[in-house]
Chains A and B, each alone.
Chain A
Amino acid sequence: MKKLFILLLLLGFGVTALAQNGRQLYNKYSDSPGVEAIYISPTMFKRIGIIPDMELNDKDVNLSHVIKSMTGFYSLSASNAKVREALRKDIDKYIQSSDYELLMESKDDDEIMRIYIVGDEETITSFVMLEYEDDEINFISIDGNMNRAQMEDLLAKTVK
């Protein structure tokens, strides 16, 4: 009986854990002072997918395949000191409480850049990039079923 109770509780919490993503952070901070926010919905990604490949192809790097595999895009840039501090704490909590693995970290004086991903060897289901600078914090969260090799290749090349 106890096992059944615990199992059902875990099931309930598991379902809610799946619902967690960058949306909570976006909703909380997108209207804060000194915050630039961009949200692109799954519907908009579908509309982007309708654009012919020829028009999406960049001169040097083809973004279209990766972009078409995205389903959600959240970007927050905060410059207000109080908002930055609160956002940083929430981002750290969010990353620690999720299944993100650190893909890359770069530190230079007070500037920190980190990339976290969720996925397997072939697919990335969630991608988070953080930039902590003296006067700004940038948070980018991308959801989807992105091909890992394509995504890494894209980041390695300089997109113009």
Chain B
Amino acid sequence: MKRIQDIEKLSVVELERIGADESIPVPADWHPLLPRRNTAARWSVAAAAVAVLIGLGWFGFQYEPAPKDTFDDPYLAYAAIEKTMARMSVDVNQAVIKVTEAEQRLGQIYKQR
């Protein structure tokens, strides 16, 4: 965009050309002077865009909606957790008893030897 000072410096011919909306021909030797972007930088941008798209697509594919709560009442939810924890602790204790029994049997075997 031109500033007022720049416009004021324009010649009459230039002002007429602008008024007529004439295009200005590009000099034949101008193209080599145009700044060229680094190929590696362009590839980096493309790679980043592809990676982001793949990431977003994968995220969308993996996204799981939240299920509906089984209980509306926190006391019922607490009771369900308590019941589950009780079952888990029974299983763990049974496993610990088995390990203890196995250790005792191994101990007896070593003593016999």
Contacts and interface: CB of A to CB of B under 8 A. Distances in A.
A19 B69 contact: no
A61 to B, nearest CB: 8
A41 B67 CA distance: 8
A113 B43 CA distance: 51
Interface stretch (A48-56, A78-86, A87-95): A48-56
Nearest to B59: A16
A8 B85 CA distance: 41
Contacts of A106: 91, 94-95, 98
B77 A44 contact: yes
B15 interface: no
Interface residues of B, number: 43
B18 interface: no
A153 to B, nearest CB: 10
B52 A12 contact: yes
Interface in B80-107: 80-82, 84-86, 88-96, 98
Contacts of A51: 74-75, 78
A96 B78 CA distance: 30
Contacts, number: 133
A76 to B, nearest CB: 11
A136 B88 CA distance: 15
A40 B65 CA distance: 14
B54 A9 contact: yes
Contact of A40 (B54, B63, B80): B80
Contacts of B66: 23, 41
16 contacts: A1-B47, A4-B44, A9-B51, A16-B55, A19-B62, A51-B74, A67-B78, A75-B80, A113-B91, A129-B88, A131-B91, A154-B89, A155-B85, A156-B93, A157-B89, A159-B82
Given A45-B77, A156-B93, 11 more contacts: A1-B44, A8-B55, A16-B55, A24-B64, A38-B84, A40-B70, A41-B67, A113-B91, A155-B85, A158-B89, A158-B90
